[in-house]
Structure 1
Amino acid sequence: MKVKFRWCKFKQLQLLELQAVFALRQQVFIIEQQSIYTDIDGLDADSWHLLGEDSGGQLLAYARLRGDRPSGCYKFERIVLAPEARGCGLGDMLMQQLLDKATQGAEFSTLKLSAQSHLQGFYGKWGFIGVGQEYDDGGILHRDMHRPLTLP
């Protein structure tokens, strides 16, 4: 599957792009996974947004990257693939883009994410290690995962 990735800040998103982002996040996280939570959390404005689109401009992959000063880390958030884009390696491409962007910034030395429990193995192959116990987030078990920005 051929997908073109691009990074942008919130203010750079066009209205139809923003609508596509919120629609994909809603379709997967709220409708498909039946997780009732506040997706629009006020953190989008201070984040980098990674959009992966097909040649027709359809949003197939998305992630948010945020520097979190209080915890001194980069956070990988809202990592999502459209249902029709799963199983073809797009998740790996998305993760590589996130890692590359965090490395370019190099403001923080730690990466964190909140993984749905069934995806811990996927993130583990990228060097993330589970921290603490699983917890319920919107009706889905999650576990915090961390890794250093650069692996030894």
Structure 2
Amino acid sequence: MQVDFRWCKFQQLQLLELHSIFALRQQVFIVEQQSIYTDIDGQDPASWHLLLETADKVLLGYARLRADRALGCYKFERILLAEPARGTGLAGQLMQQLLDKAAQLGEYRLLKLSAQNHLQGFYAKWDFVAMGQEYDDGGILHRDMQRVL
């Protein structure tokens, strides 16, 4: 499967791309995982957006990278793959893209994410370490994880 990764700031996204992003996030997090939460949280305009697309521009994966100045870190958020892309190795490529972009931006060395409990092992492969207690986020147990570049 031929795919392309592309980084965009919010203002660079076309309306149909933004629609595809919100539709995929809704499909995965709200419909498939039945997690009722406020997906459009006001953080998208200040974030970098990673799009994983087929050659004909079908969105297969997505992640958001956001600088959190209050915590002095970058946050990896809304990391997902569409169902046809799961189990293909693209999740690892998505993570590598996130790590590379954070290193390129270079403002912070600390990286944080909120991992669904069943994905902690995946993120641990990328040197993320669980921190604190697990918590319910939209009906799904999560745990904060972090690592240093």
Provide TM-score, normalisation by structure 1.
0.97
> Which residue number corresponds to residue 62 of structure 1?
62
Task: Give, as a single letter, the amino acid of the residue that structure 2 aligns with 1:102.
Answer: A
Separation in structure 1 between the aligned mates of residue 87 and residue 113 of structure 2, nearest angstrom: 21
3-state SS of paired residue (1:103):
helix
Partner SS state of residue 143, structure 1: strand
2: distance between equivalents of 1:19 and 1:52? Answer: 15
What SS is found at the alignment partner of 2:65?
Answer: strand
Report the counterpart of residue 87 of structure 1 in structure 2.
Answer: 87
- Aligned position for 1:5: 5
Aligned to 2:29: 29
Match of 1:107 in 2: 107
For the residue of structure 1 that corresponds to 2:34, the secondary structure is coil
RMSD: 0.5
Structure 2: 5+ residue stretches without partners = none
SS in 1 for 2:18: helix
Q: Percent identity?
A: 72
Equivalent-residue separation in structure 2 for 1:115 and 1:58 (angstroms): 26
Q: Does 1:119 align with 2:142?
A: no
In structure 2, what is the equivalent of residue 19 of structure 1? Answer: 19
Q: CA deviation at 1:43?
A: 0.2
- Return the alpha-carbon distance in structure 2 between the equivalents of residues 54 and 136 of structure 1: 34
CA distance in 2, matches of 1:21, 1:105: 23
- What is the aligned length? 149
* Map of 2:46 onto structure 1: 46
For 2:146, the equivalent position in structure 1 comes to 146
How far the C-alpha of 1:69 sits from its partner, in A, is 0.3
Deviations for 1:109-128, whole angstroms, at most 9, x for unmatched residues? 10000000000000000000
Q: Deviations over 1:27-80 (max 9, x none)?
A: 000000000000000000000000000011100010000010000000000001
TM-superposed CA distance for 1:2, in Å, is 2.1
1:97 matches 2:97: yes
Any stretches of 5+ residues in structure 1 without a counterpart?
A: none
Q: Deviations over 1:97-143 (max 9, x none)?
A: 00000000110110000000000000000000000111000000000
| Separation (CA, whole Å) in 2 of partners of 1:30 and 1:2 | 28
